[in-house]
Structure 1
Amino acid sequence: MKRTIAHMDLDTFFVSCERLKHSELIGKPIIIGGGDRGVVASCSYEARFFGVRSAMPMKMALRLCPDAKVIRGDMELYSKMSKEVTEIITEKVPVLEKASVDEFYLDLSGMDKFFGCYQWTTEIAESVTKNTGLPISFALSTNKTVSKIGTGEAKPVGRLEIKEDLVKPFLNPLSIRKIPMVGNVTFQLLSRIGIRKIQTLSEMPVDVLQQLIGKNGAELWKKANGIDETPVVQYSERKSISTETTFSQDSIDVENMKSILSKMVEELCFQLRREQWLTSVVTVKIRYANFDTETKQVKIPYTAVDHTISSYVRELFKKLYTRRMRLRLIGIRFSGLVHGNHQMNLFEDTEELINLYQAMDRMKIRFGKNAVGRASGISG
């Protein structure tokens, strides 16, 4: 059966959410970010016109666009709106993958016999905008890579269908930067030897490409040729990651428990970032010496950073541990997971803090998860 994959992406998602609350922001350059020392979490197309981009230091962004309206950002609003959009799309498609807080893959293979896939996707997009007020773009093609690139070309508020025989003509003239797996390092490397267009990349021998960039060379060559067999993975908020510790002897040492919880948060958050997950539900579990087990959970804005989640864990543990009785076990679970990245926290963190997390993660990946850690406990 011929595959039909749609990619949908909410246009300037954070900015669009803010404009729903404040219509006077429509048409003006907007930067979502935190403080002079922070970085840009998102920006409007009007700000992009001046060269402002996500993850750019705020000072640089304001030099480029001094008249921009700077907004701190509302994580709770963005999380809420993301979930509303997810629910709308989930009701209308057989297989949905939530790729991040603002983008989705839809597997519509075989639906042409019942209803035109392009028309079906158009109606879904219209339903999203009608029910939430958020603008959304989409592209429809034979696989995830081509559809994602297509959505990028269709924005803002665009709709595009790239049929199988038009995939190569569509991809060939585009910059290799448009391929999702091409980052700055790969782009600079390939540019130095004159490979800047997707067509040039697609015509390279695979073995030469592998010698240049390593094991990902073959995968990159496939994407440049419009080949991608990656399946659309059904989205489920039931996925979770967790960890727990059973004490060798029942304990009443609260400070030690806080320290252990802090370590648990750090390890689970590292796992989230490494696997590109964000969590929206945090649960703390305790088991008393008499085997009574209690849990408390809280819904939170999507995040994957230690210091944000630690405050929720601290409050949950304080509310849970109310009996003057020894504990035999403590644990933490993150659920309501969605694929994403650090973007949801860009507007609350400083550039230095983001760089610190990235540096710590690199060390853990290279030398092991215990290579570096926080000196402080969870209390404070």
Structure 2
Amino acid sequence: MTENPGGTPAHPLPLCRDCGARAPARRDRCARCGSPRLVAHPELDRLAIAHIDCDAFFAAIEKRDNPQLRDLPVIVGGGRRGVVSTCCYIARIHGVRSAMPMFKALEACPDAVVIKPNLAKYSEVGRQVRERMLALTPLVEPVSIDEAFLDLTGTQRLHRASPAETLAAFARALEADLGISASIGLAPNKFLAKIASDLDKPRGFSVIGAAEARAFLAERPVGIIWGIGKVFQAKLAADGIRTIGQLQAMDPTDLLRRYGALGQRLARLATGADDRPVSPDRGAKSISAETTFDTDIAGLDRLRPILRELSEKVSQRLKRAGLGGRTVTLKLKTADFRILTRSRQLADPTQLADRIFRAGDDLLGPEADGRRFRLIGIGVGELADAGSADPGDLLDAGAGRRARAEQAMDKVRDRFGTEAVELGLVHASRARRTPGRPDEA
């Protein structure tokens, strides 16, 4: 599977990840530099689909910029009422995980250094990483700020190296030039590449070949399959299905009958089959904004101004991106950490804060029944080009007037700053609301 420095003469020569040498191993070490970080696999020089995932990205950047943090547990996230955005591997040893409530993270690791996220800095480093990926191949499909799929098919002549050699050189340059590390998965398709990149973190380079895929997957839990969340895992477990091997043994027709289209997908992925291309045009599926309160709050009169402010943030992001969206989704997190989502589909795509807020406000009303909430968010999905957004509304005589007013406010904000013009509702929110922290959108 990976990290197998042995092999037979028929196999490709092991690749040293530290110096790039291709030579027979000597006592499981590189013959040139003595490094034990070798990767060998029968299909090493035939595979071209990769998943690259930067290791503990936010925390790694903070440690790079402050060497005094190097040997300390670091958590990047909001205040005590917030959640963990990411944490270093030292903190993970103590049980800290991304998306964990901050108070639980500090209970698990009370000596951790907590750092407020600096999204502008992380975005700049993410841009630099993305540029380096694009220098390897134009077929880069971003997954998030710090990870992506790459298809290096046909790049051997350009780089004068196999995809595996090119990826190893990329990882070395990332550490030398940007001071961060990444883990790499190499496989015949995206599904297996994503699994491979998680096998040996941090600084991993793992390979899953086509010939071994079925046997490799057989003992793995069904939860490693994309799209299989906790609820569906529980449903599968209730049906006696816990491993991928059990899925492999089932008739695909039976899976389709039981679970519909998802069952058909399970039948394919269980054998390691995945024909999805690496698509550089995938783009964002939604744009959202949310905030976590330092103290739980309740009541429509307190939540509405915050919802309006978040709607304006989403609107600004849509306008900057030249997009509109048809589906508005409200997100709430209760005091006991239950997440509620409510959605409404609009007749036409929108990028206007007024329409986003009005849809979100209709969804918020029934939920603001006295319960206390620790988070509220609003998002827009089903994104489309801005040219199709916000046509005239014959049923709402005031819609055109409100749209023109919002456009006028946008012009003032573009010239004098985002706070140059505020609605009374938003101003009241900032003046009297319980302090909260904006979460990463």
Per the normalisation by structure 1, the TM-score is 0.66
Give 1:36's aligned residue. Answer: 80
Checking the alignment, whether the CA contact within 8 Å between 1:7 and 1:148 is kept in structure 2 is: yes
- Counterpart-to-counterpart distance in 1, 2:87 and 2:98: 7
Q: Secondary structure at the match of 2:343?
A: helix
Q: Are 1:372 and 2:416 an aligned pair? A: no
More moved, 124-133 vs 111-120:
111-120
Following superposition, the deviation at residue 58 of structure 1 comes to: 1.2
User: Compared with structure 1, are the counterparts of its residues 367 and 187 closer, same or farther at alpha carbon in structure 2 (3 Å cutoff)?
Assistant: farther
Change (3 A) 1:311 1:186: closer
Q: Find the counterpart in structure 2 of residue 57 from structure 1.
A: 101
1:122 maps to what in 2?
A: 168
Q: Could you say if the C-alpha distance between residues 207 and 159 of structure 1 is closer, same or farther in structure 2, counting changes exceeding 3 Å?
A: same
Higher relative helix content: 1
How far the C-alpha of 1:131 sits from its partner, in A, is: 1.8
Distance (Å, rounded) in 2 between the aligned partners of 1:377 and 1:166: 63
Task: Tell me the CA shift for residue 203 of structure 1.
Answer: 2.1
Residues 359 and 367 from structure 1, CA distance in 2 versus in 1: closer, same or farther, beyond 3 angstroms? Answer: farther
Residues 13-162 of structure 1 aligned to structure 2 (within 5 Å): 13-112=57-156, 115-162=161-208
Work out whether residues 3 and 110 of structure 1, in 8 Å CA contact, stay in contact via their aligned partners in 2.
no
Q: 2:77 touches 2:102 (CA, 8 Å); kept in 1?
A: yes
Change (3 A) 1:187 1:37: same
Could you give the per-residue CA deviations for residues 208-252 of structure 1, whole angstroms, max 9, x where no partner exists?
A: 33344332111122112111111111258xx7xxxxxxxxxxxxx
Instruction: Report if aligned partners of 1:150, 1:160 keep a CA contact under 8 Å in 2.
Output: yes
CA–CA separation in structure 2 for the residues paired with 1:122 and 1:107: 15
Instruction: Name the structure 2 match of 1:181.
Output: 227
Do 1:43 and 1:53's aligned partners in 2 also have CA atoms closer than 8 Å?
Answer: yes
Among candidates 316, 319, 343, match of residue 363 of structure 1: 343
- The letter for the 2-side match of 1:60 is K
Is 1:230 paired with 2:276?
Answer: yes
What is the distance in 2 between the residues matched to 1:366 and 1:172? 44
> In 1, distance between residues paired with 2:181 and 2:236?
35
Q: Which structure has the larger Rg?
A: 2
Q: 2:319 matched to 1:332?
A: yes
CA RMSD in angstroms, aligned pairs only: 3.7
Q: Which has the higher contact order (CA 8 A, sep 6+)?
A: 1
- Taking the TM superposition and a 5 Å limit, the aligned residue runs for 1:282-361 are 307=309, 310=312, 332-334=319-321, 359-360=340-341
Alpha-carbon contact 1:89-1:128 (below 8 Å) kept: no
Aligned residues of 1:62 and 1:68 also touching (Cα < 8 A): yes
Q: CA deviation at 1:98?
A: 1.3
1:142 positional shift: 0.6
Return the alpha-carbon distance in structure 2 between the equivalents of residues 60 and 367 of structure 1: 43
Cα deviation digits, residues 249-291 of structure 1 (max 9, x gap): xxxxxxxxxxxxxxxxxxxxxxx6xx24689xxxxxxxxxxxx
SS in 2 for 1:164: coil
User: Unmatched 5+ residue regions in structure 1?
Assistant: 240-271, 280-304, 317-330, 337-348
What letter is aligned with 2:263? G
Deviation at 1:157, TM superposition (A): 0.6
User: Measured at CA, do residues 32 and 187 of structure 1 come closer, stay the same or move farther in structure 2, by a change above 3 Å?
Assistant: same
* Larger mean Cα displacement after TM superposition, 160-169 or 128-137: 160-169
Q: Does the 8 A contact of 2:141 with 2:278 survive in 1?
A: yes
* CA spacing shift, 1:57–1:120, aligned 2, 3 Å: same
Distance 1:138 1:335, change over 3 A: farther
CA shift in 2, pair 1:192/1:228, >3 Å: same
* 4+ aligned runs moved over 4 Å, structure 1: 276-279, 305-309, 311-314, 349-353, 365-371, 374-379
Query: Cα gap change, 1:215/1:28 in structure 2, threshold over 3 Å: closer, same or farther?
Result: same
CA offset at residue 352 of structure 1?
Answer: 5.5
Matches of 1:312 and 1:183 in 2, distance apart? 27
Distance 1:184 1:77 in 2: 33
State the Cα distance separating 1:333 from its structure 2 match.
3.7
Q: Please state how far the C-alpha of 1:25 moved relative to its aligned partner.
A: 1.7
- Is 1:9 aligned to residue 74 of structure 2? no
Q: Is contact 2:184-2:196 (8 Å) kept?
A: yes
Distance 2:180 2:89 in 1: 15
Partner letter of residue 321 of structure 2? F
Question: Alpha carbons of 1:194 and 1:122: their partners in 2 closer, same or farther (altered >3 Å)?
Answer: same
Specify the code of the residue in structure 2 equivalent to 1:15: A
CA pair 308-16 structure 1, distance change in 2 beyond 3 A: farther
For residues 22 and 109 of structure 1, do their structure 2 counterparts lie closer, same or farther at Cα, with a shift above 3 Å needed? same
* Higher alpha-carbon deviation: 204-213 or 217-226: 204-213
Report the alpha carbon displacement of residue 306 of structure 1 after superposing the two structures with TM: 7.9
Cα separation, 1, equivalents of 2:80 and 2:332: 8
- The alignment partner of 1:79 has SS state of helix
Q: CA 1:217–1:306 in 2, change beyond 3 Å: closer, same or farther?
A: farther
CA contact (8 A) 1:173 1:198 kept: yes
Could you tell me which residue of structure 2 aligns to residue 298 of structure 1? none
